[in-house]
């Protein structure tokens, strides 16, 4: 039974739809357990002739079918075929009206896909395949239709009734019911449909577009959250303005609405004109949200808003093209946030995510190209590869074409394909046509999986004053792709002279960087050049180089690749001090720290005493003591590489050794530089009220980085300092920083802080998510017991995805305790995967992916993880979501 073969869907099998839908008239009569959905479709044949050749197949799942009428006539049972996933009508004319009535049970919908209840309110999530859980429909993104939606509900319980588009009419009905009729004038696929009904408060504002049209803006939340919407509203207006200025995109409906719900599988959803959000990405006030939350909200509000053009007006032809909308829109939100915050710091944090998590995905059995070739369950492909690597692919195109060329390309893309469902090939074609650039080889980034590696060698000739840089590119095999073709990789390069300044670069075959490095005071010369690597081995010669330079390669992380370059420690220290490219200045320090920690790991494994290199110590001290303008950058530069990133450099991952080695370095730095840490901590205290501007965020980040080093000292005085911050801080950023430090330390203040925090915030679910997470992430030995006990706490709810992610999900990323050599951590997470799967397979599959890298660990852990993988795989009635992840992991 568990070996049941689930159907694999393949890109090569794509066929255009046999029928198109012109209009959809939906009527929802809402009821918690018995909602009636009436759907009237006008259907037309999509071939020269359909009659008698093509059957009309509609998708549907978990539906009670009441009636089907074709052109007004009831169909009898023998006129159609129904199974667990579809309704087929074998005989249809070339044009007809189809009326279907179904009944559904929103209260029992624990998958949170389709129509369900959250906090007593109705809401929907239709991407990717949730619409078919409300009515039978050709539920595929290339069927775009105009929607009319009528919602009927009890007026007292559900005073607010929302759907896509513009409100046409509303009014009272008998029996205490009322109705609202919505019309969306833009054709859209069913996955962009949305409906919300509930008792919600409304926060209003407006935005005047560049052509002078006034748009009503609304955020709908539960009444007690009214005071937490100002930042989301401000973010929305900034995003609307930015998209006009940067891409020339104007909003198109009279109204734009955001609804916040507590039970949501993802971050947010870009339904046309009616974005539904996980409340985590809407609600914020200084006492309850951290700086990271504030930035997350601005990024996600921007992301969903930008989808109005990159996703809604132009959508995906099929789900293999998911990166068409997601890669492009993630790039747009990253760029938006670079403009709203700090370009270098935002880039560092985005690359951190990519290198620590997407590179892992590329190295796992789940590795897949940005445009996958096949899937069993599409929900398993909402991945960092499709989203974040997809965004890097767009960024590289912008680097290759330059900002003006790229803008000409997006202008052409938006005008050529408005109202269509298209492919990533169509996107690239628009870039090529607008600029006359050949991107055929570049398109391998969409079809070839894995992280390319660039090995760089250099030869300086003092006689001819030339520097030769050669680049050899390789890409490791990934499932189904043993042999890789050479990619087109744009590499941004700078050369630093002995004075620490960029040298002017002259070479054949390189173009000026689209994103020049920060000004170095030089005039005339171009300091950053982009070279295009296309062959397995490429050489570039730079002329007029008076002295041997220190190369700065892959500036601003110009391609999602790994670079191997034989820089000496001194050269890295030099880059750390002088590189005009913020990303590489930061990365030089990271790579030094990686090398040092890897040495410490070897010492740890051999039982040797850990010793820290003095040149690293002094470089670190220089950064700590300097008064940089950008404190957020300074904080990043003082942070050691994450344990997960370090694991990437080990043949066999040893989570305990990584943790110990990293912490010992942290402790050594704290001991050596104790007084400087304390001084910097005090200098960066915030005076006055909480503000979320860049300078204040930077100061808090630097101060709290110092605090976490100091807490390694295990001194009662420092613990009191931390406790003081916990007690007196007026904002959640500082409270959380101190609480997390206490939660990681076995000290008397720990239980007291955790229980005070709980008593203060137990009625705020988003704050409780933080409380659960920091306990699940603690490296202390009893963490698993704590997590198990917390599952019984009333604030935890196994049906709520945020709670699962905060507690169980967080624990599965706790590299020490999840990977405990006795296997208890593995057994616990596997138990939860099995408990969650029958309720919410999407969330269960996410959790199950904690096991995918099992082959990278030692023999004992491999065996223990494999046991759990097999136990999950052999469980009867496993969802295809979890089944796909488990079977691919074991393959
Ligand atoms: Zn998106």
Distance from residue 329's CA to the centre of ligand 1 (Å) = 6
Rounded-to-integer distance, Cα 731 and Cα 734, Å: 6
Which of 2, 278, 281 is closest to 118 using CA atoms?
278
pLDDT, tens only, 156-182: 999 999 999 999 999 999 999 999 999
Backbone angles phi, psi at 196, to 5 degrees: -135, 135
Question: DSSP character for 877?
Answer: T
Residue 833 tokens read as 């995967």
User: For residues 778 and 747, is the Cβ–Cβ distance under 8 A?
Assistant: no
Rounded-to-integer distance, Cα 555 and Cα 571, Å: 16
pLDDT, tens only, 394-446: 999 999 999 999 999 999 999 999 999 999 999 999 999 999 999 999 999 99
Cis peptide preceding 582, ω within 30 of 0: no
Residues in the chain: 891
Distance from residue 192's CA to the centre of ligand 1 (Å) = 12
Query: Is pLDDT at 521 greater than 50 in this prediction?
Result: no
Report the chain's C-alpha Rg in angstroms.
28
What's the distance, CA 65 to chain centroid? 37
Q: How confident is the model at residue 524 (pLDDT cuts 50, 70, 90)?
A: very low
Judged by DSSP in three states, 480 sits in coil
Q: How confident is the model at residue 637 (pLDDT cuts 50, 70, 90)?
A: very high
Distance from residue 302's CA to the centre of ligand 1 (Å) = 10
Query: Is pLDDT at 613 greater than 90 in this prediction?
Result: no
Rounded-to-integer distance, Cα 769 and Cα 279, Å: 12
Phi-psi category of 196—alpha, beta or left, where left has phi over 0 and alpha has psi -120 to 50? beta
Q: How confident is the model at residue 4 (pLDDT cuts 50, 70, 90)?
A: low
* pLDDT reported for residue 518: 37
Backbone angles phi, psi at 229, to 5 degrees: -110, -5
Residue 219 tokens read as 């955020």
Query: Is pLDDT at 512 greater than 80 in this prediction?
Result: no
Judged by DSSP in three states, 125 sits in strand
DSSP strand pairing (453-461 vs 562-565): parallel
Q: How confident is the model at residue 82 (pLDDT cuts 50, 70, 90)?
A: very high
Distance from residue 887's CA to the centre of ligand 1 (Å) = 28
Rounded-to-integer distance, Cα 721 and Cα 612, Å: 27
Phi-psi category of 521—alpha, beta or left, where left has phi over 0 and alpha has psi -120 to 50? left
Is 111 designated active site? no
Q: Span 71-75, mean pLDDT?
A: 97
Half-sphere exposure of 752 (CA within 13 A, CB side): 11
Judged by DSSP in three states, 419 sits in coil
**Residues in CB range of 25: below 8 A, 6 or more apart:** 38, 39, 40, 41, 148, 150
Percent of the chain predicted with pLDDT > 90: 94
Question: DSSP character for 806?
Answer: I
Distance from residue 843's CA to the centre of ligand 1 (Å) = 18
Distance from residue 331's CA to the centre of ligand 1 (Å) = 10
Q: Span 598-623, mean pLDDT?
A: 91
Question: DSSP character for 378?
Answer: G
pTM (two decimals): 0.97
Q: Span 817-845, mean pLDDT?
A: 98
User: For residues 102 and 135, is the Cβ–Cβ distance under 8 A?
Assistant: yes
Distance from residue 268's CA to the centre of ligand 1 (Å) = 8
For ligand 1, a single-atom ion, the residues with CB < 5 A are: 326, 329
Please give the order of strands across the beta sheet that includes 466-474: 537-542, 466-474, 453-461, 562-565
pLDDT, tens only, 270-302: 999 999 999 999 999 999 999 999 999 999 999
Residue 457 tokens read as 């060698």
Distance from residue 684's CA to the centre of ligand 1 (Å) = 36
Rounded-to-integer distance, Cα 309 and Cα 112, Å: 26
What's the distance, CA 720 to chain centroid? 37
Distance from residue 514's CA to the centre of ligand 1 (Å) = 26
Q: Span 688-692, mean pLDDT?
A: 89
Q: Span 34-42, mean pLDDT?
A: 98
Query: Is pLDDT at 609 greater than 90 in this prediction?
Result: no
User: For residues 19 and 56, is the Cβ–Cβ distance under 8 A?
Assistant: yes
Question: DSSP character for 855?
Answer: G
Query: Is pLDDT at 548 greater than 80 in this prediction?
Result: yes
pLDDT, tens only, 806-825: 999 999 999 999 999 999 99
What burial class does residue 176 get, using C-beta atoms within 10 Å of its C-beta: 0-12 exposed, 13-18 middle, 19+ buried?
exposed
Distance from residue 271's CA to the centre of ligand 1 (Å) = 10
Judged by DSSP in three states, 211 sits in coil
* pLDDT reported for residue 523: 35
Distance from residue 376's CA to the centre of ligand 1 (Å) = 21
Rounded-to-integer distance, Cα 844 and Cα 801, Å: 10
* pLDDT reported for residue 10: 98
* pLDDT reported for residue 526: 59
Distance from residue 120's CA to the centre of ligand 1 (Å) = 26
pLDDT, tens only, 185-194: 999 999 999 9
Rounded-to-integer distance, Cα 639 and Cα 111, Å: 39
Query: Is pLDDT at 525 greater than 80 in this prediction?
Result: no
pLDDT, tens only, 214-273: 999 999 999 999 999 999 999 999 999 999 999 999 999 999 999 999 999 999 999 999
Distance from residue 303's CA to the centre of ligand 1 (Å) = 6
DSSP strand pairing (95-104 vs 166-172): unpaired
Maximum CA pair distance of the chain? 94
Residue 611 tokens read as 């010793």
* From 127, 304, 361, 660, the catalytic residue: 304
Distance from residue 270's CA to the centre of ligand 1 (Å) = 7
The secondary structure element, H or E, covering residue 254 is none
Give the helix, strand, coil percentages of the chain, each rounded to 5.
45, 20, 35
End-to-end Cα spacing for the chain: 18
What's the distance, CA 151 to chain centroid? 33
Beta strands (DSSP E) in 105-158 are 114-118, 121-125, 145-154
Distance from residue 318's CA to the centre of ligand 1 (Å) = 15
Rounded-to-integer distance, Cα 678 and Cα 843, Å: 43
Q: How confident is the model at residue 508 (pLDDT cuts 50, 70, 90)?
A: low
User: For residues 545 and 436, is the Cβ–Cβ distance under 8 A?
Assistant: no
pLDDT, tens only, 44-61: 999 998 888 899 999 999
Q: What is the mean pLDDT of the chain?
A: 95
What are the angstrom distances between the C-alpha of 211 and each of 39, 249, 273?
36, 11, 19
Which of 273, 238, 278, 270 is closest to 112 using CA atoms?
278
Residue 275 tokens read as 């974005």
Distance from residue 776's CA to the centre of ligand 1 (Å) = 28
**Residues in CB range of 257: below 8 A, 6 or more apart:** 162, 217, 218, 219, 220, 273, 274, 275
Place of tokens 């300097």: 626
């Amino acid at each position: 039974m568990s070996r049941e073969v689930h159907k694999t869907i393949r890109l090569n099998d794509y066929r255009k739809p046999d029928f198109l839908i012109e209009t959809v008239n939906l009527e929802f009569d809402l009821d918690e357990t018995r909602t009636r959905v009436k759907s009237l479709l006008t259907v037309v044949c999509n071939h020269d002739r359909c009659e008698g050749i093509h059957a009309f197949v509609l998708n549907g799942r978990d539906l009670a079918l009441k009636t089907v009428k074709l052109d007004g006539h009831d169909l009898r049972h023998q006129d159609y075929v129904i199974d667990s996933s579809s309704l087929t009508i074998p005989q249809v004319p070339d044009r007809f009206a189809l009326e279907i009535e179904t009944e559904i049970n929103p209260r029992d919908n624990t998958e949170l896909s389709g129509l369900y209840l959250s906090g007593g309110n109705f809401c929907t999530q239709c991407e990717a395949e949730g619409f078919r859980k409300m009515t039978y429909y050709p539920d595929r993104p290339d069927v775009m239709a105009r929607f009319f939606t009528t919602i009927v509900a009890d007026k007292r319980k559900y005073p607010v009734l929302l759907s896509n588009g513009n409100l046409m009419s509303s009014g009272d009905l008998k029996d205490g019911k009322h109705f609202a009729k919505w019309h969306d004038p833009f054709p859209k696929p069913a996955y962009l449909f949305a409906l919300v009904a509930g008792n919600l408060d409304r926060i209003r504002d407006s935005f005047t577009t560049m052509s002078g049209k006034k748009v009503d803006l609304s955020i709908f939340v539960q009444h007690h959250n009214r005071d937490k919407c100002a930042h989301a509203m401000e973010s929305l207006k900034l995003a609307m303005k930015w998209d006009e200025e940067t891409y020339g995109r104007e909003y198109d409906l009279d109204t734009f609405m955001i609804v916040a719900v507590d039970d949501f599988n993802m971050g947010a959803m870009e339904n046309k004109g009616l974005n539904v959000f996980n409340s985590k990405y809407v609600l914020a006030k200084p006492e309850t949200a951290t700086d990271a939350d504030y930035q997350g909200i601005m990024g996600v509000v921007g992301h969903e808003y930008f989808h109005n053009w990159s996703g809604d007006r132009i959508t995906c032809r099929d789900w293999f093209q998911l990166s068409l909308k997601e890669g492009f829109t993630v790039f747009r939100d990253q760029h938006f946030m670079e403009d709203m915050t700090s370009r270098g710091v935002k880039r560092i944090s985005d690359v951190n995510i990519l290198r620590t998590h997407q590179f892992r995905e590329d190295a796992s059995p789940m590795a897949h190209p940005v445009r996958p070739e096949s899937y069993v369950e599409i929900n398993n492909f909402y991945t960092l590869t499709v989203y974040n690597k997809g965004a890097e692919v767009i960024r590289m195109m912008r680097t290759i074409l330059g900002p003006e060329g790229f803008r000409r390309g997006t202008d052409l893309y938006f005008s050529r394909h408005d109202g269509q469902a298209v492919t990533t090939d169509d996107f690239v074609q628009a870039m090529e046509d607008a600029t006359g650039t050949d991107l055929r080889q570049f398109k391998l980034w969409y079809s070839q999986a894995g992280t390319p590696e660039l090995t760089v060698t250099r030869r300086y000739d003092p006689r001819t004053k030339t520097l030769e840089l050669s680049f050899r590119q390789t890409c490791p095999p990934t499932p189904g792709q043993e042999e890789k073709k050479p990619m087109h990789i744009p590499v941004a390069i700078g050369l630093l002279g002995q004075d620490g300044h960029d040298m002017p670069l002259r070479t054949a075959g390189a173009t000026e960087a689209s994103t020049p490095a920060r000004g170095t005071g030089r005039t005339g010369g171009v300091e950053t050049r982009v070279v295009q690597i296309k062959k397995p081995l490429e050489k570039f010669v730079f002329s007029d180089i008076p002295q041997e330079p220190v190369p700065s390669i892959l500036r601003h992380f110009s391609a999602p690749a790994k670079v191997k370059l034989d820089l000496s420690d001194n050269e890295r220290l030099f880059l750390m001090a002088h590189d005009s490219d913020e990303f590489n200045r930061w990365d030089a320090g990271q790579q030094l720290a990686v090398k040092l920690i890897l040495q410490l790991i070897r010492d740890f494994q051999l039982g040797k005493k850990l010793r820290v290199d003095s040149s690293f110590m002094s470089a670190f001290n220089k950064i700590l003591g300097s008064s940089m303008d950008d404190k957020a950058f300074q904080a990043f530069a003082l942070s050691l590489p994450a344990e997960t990133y370090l694991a990437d450099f080990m043949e066999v991952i040893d989570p305990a050794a990584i943790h110990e080695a990293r912490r010992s370095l942290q402790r050594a730095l704290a001991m050596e530089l104790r007084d400087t840490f304390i001084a910097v901590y005090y200098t960066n205290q915030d005076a006055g009220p909480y503000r979320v501007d860049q300078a204040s965020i930077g100061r808090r980040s630097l101060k709290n980085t110092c605090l976490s080093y100091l807490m390694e000292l295990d001194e009662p005085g420092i613990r009191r300092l931390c406790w003081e911050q916990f007690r007196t801080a007026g904002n959640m950023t500082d409270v959380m920083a101190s609480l997390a430090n206490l939660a990681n330390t076995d000290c008397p203040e720990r239980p007291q802080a955790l229980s005070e925090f709980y008593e203060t915030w137990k009625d705020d679910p988003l704050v409780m998510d933080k409380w659960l997470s920091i306990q699940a992430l603690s490296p202390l030995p009893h963490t698993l017991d704590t997590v198990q006990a917390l599952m019984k706490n009333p604030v935890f709810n196994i049906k709520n995805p945020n709670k699962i992610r905060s507690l169980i999900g967080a624990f599965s990323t706790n590299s020490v305790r999840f990977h405990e050599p006795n296997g208890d951590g593995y057994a616990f997470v596997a138990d939860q995967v099995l408990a969650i799967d029958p309720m919410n397979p999407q969330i269960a599959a996410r959790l199950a992916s904690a096991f995918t890298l099992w082959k990278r660990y030692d023999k004992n852990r491999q065996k223990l993880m494999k046991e759990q993988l097999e136990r999950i795989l052999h469980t009867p009635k496993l969802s295809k979501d979890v089944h796909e992840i488990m079977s691919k992991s074991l393959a």
